Amino acid sequence: MKRFWSHAVAVPRPEGGHAVLLDGRPLRLPGGVPLATEFAPLAEAIATEWQAAGGEKGGEMSMEDVPLTRLLGTAQDRIAPDPSAMVAGLAKYAETDLLCYRAEDAALAERQAREWQPLLDWAAEAHGAPLTITAGLMPVAQPAKSLKALERAIAVHEVEELAALGLAVPALGSLVLGLALSAGRLNGQEAHRLAVLDETHQEERWGTDAEAAHRRARAAADIDLAERFLALVRT
């Protein structure tokens, strides 16, 4: 769409929180509700991305240019009315968490154990959620108490944090990695490296696959956005 504004600024709202104004008019969600956040750094960052989008008035821009806006919109419009739906959706990832599935190839399995097991140990200690590991791809049932414990660990997150986890966890294929990212135990780059351990191990042997590399780049961008969003709502 064409940029129709000259100036984007973040401002306090009389009723509390912060909004973004485009030439003095509130930035609104598709349903017409003004976009709002209690976090001043996030509002400032959103204003910055709208100030840059399209270059200048009349320039072309798309919602890809304003990723923080999209993520806050998800939190405000889709998650806030019923956070339990997002909590339940994220909790499902624990049933088939990437870190629980080890390769049958001995060299890769040893690497997975060395790199992944500390995160599973952390989940067991920090959240009371020991998970069962297996070799191969056949599903393994996880302890019901552990699944409930991880669901509770998700549920304590604020709406904005849930939006970030909703982006990061699918990109990582692992709830444990997502929670470790949220807790600050891992940064986004390290979490992504662990999530693609299998792929990189294979590529070290057989060379890079262009399609897989493109997919990893998209996942890395999502994880980076989630990490940045978390930082802005915790500043």
pLDDT single digits (tens) 134-169: 998 889 999 999 999 999 999 999 999 999 999 999
One fold for both 8-66 and 83-234? no
Task: Write out pLDDT tens, residues 108-125.
Answer: 999 999 999 999 999 999
Give residue 163's pLDDT: 98
H or E element that contains 111: helix 106-127
CATH classification (class only), 83-234: mainly alpha
Q: Quick one: tokens of 203?
A: 């590529």
Class of CATH domain 8-66: alpha beta
Could you give the C-alpha distances from 58 to 1, 5, 6, 55, 221, in angstroms and in order?
Answer: 9, 8, 9, 9, 28
pTM exceeds 0.85: yes
Which candidate, 4, 120, 107, places its Cα nearest to that of 53? 4
| Sequence ranges of the domains in the chain | 8-66, 83-234
Taking only the tens place, the pLDDT of each residue in 126-139 is: 999 999 999 988 89
